[in-house]
Amino acid sequence: MIGSCWRGPLTGALLMLAGSLAGAAAATQGPQQRVIEATGRVLAALEHQAPQFEQTPARIDARIREIVQPHFDFVRMAGWVLGKHWHNATPEQQLRFGHAFRQVLLSSYAATLRAYRGQGIEYLPLRADPAGGEVTVRSRTLQPGRAPVVLNYTLWERDGRWRVYDISVDGISLVANYRTRFAGEIKAHGLDALIMRLEQHNRTGEPLQ
């Protein structure tokens, strides 16, 4: 997704976070409770449905779209990633970039899901006051024989629901990483060229260099 050092822990963490939460109780849950419950639900689904996913990889994409899209603010993520270029973009460019960027993320989740083998998760005290409308949910993904991966999820409250708009792995922000990477490409080749490259990646499945 952003290089081999990100692909496994980052996309796996995002996928685990984005479990399906239904009903009125989900809408009123605090951000950390949403993360904890979502993680448990998705891990259980992966454990019970892994054989079916391995036999029919296309089901992975459908499952990811089902559980992820309602719980992430892809529009805000796209806007933050492009920065000033988002505000200077036409509505059509915003729409095309947002769609292409979302597909890039979802494709990475699918790749992670195919290789998923299970990890333990430890949650740390919540950072910031939920009453302020923005929080960081901190956790550590435990890996046997290796140092834990520190995963921080940044959520904000919109329309009474908490949604993720950034995640960092060992202090490295997803949004900041893409923002820096894409800024150089836009400066060199323009926003349309970046959009076309992402769209080409989504059509062909070629690695995103």
Q: Summarize pLDDT for 47-106 with one digit per residue, the tens.
A: 777 677 667 767 766 776 777 777 789 999 999 999 999 999 999 999 999 999 998 887
Contacts of 171 (CB under 8 A, 6+ apart): 150
Asked whether residue 168 carries a pLDDT value surpassing 90, the answer given is no
Look up tokens 């923005």; give the residue.
Answer: 134
Question: Residue ranges per domain, the chain?
Answer: 4-204
Distance CA 60, CA 24 (A): 27
Residue 127 and residue 168 in contact, taking contact as beta carbons nearer than 8 Å:
no
H-type alpha helices, the chain: 4-17, 23-28, 31-55, 58-68, 74-82, 84-88, 91-115, 174-189, 191-204
State the average pLDDT over residues 143-150: 83
Between these two residues, 46 and 133, which has the higher pLDDT value? 133
Contact 159, 152 (CB under 8 A): no
Q: Label residue 112 by pLDDT band (50, 70, 90).
A: low
Q: What is the pTM for the complete model shown?
A: 0.76
The mean of the pLDDT values for the chain is 78
Question: What pLDDT, on the 0 to 100 scale, is given for residue 57?
Answer: 67
Structure tokens at 17: 């976070």
pLDDT band at residue 5, thresholds of 50, 70 and 90? very low
- If one looks up domain 4-204 in CATH, what number appears? 3.10.450.710
Question: What is the token pair recorded at 97?
Answer: 């970039």
What are the backbone dihedrals phi and psi of residue 29, each rounded to the nearest 5 degrees, phi first? -70, 150
| pLDDT higher than threshold 70 for residue 166 | yes
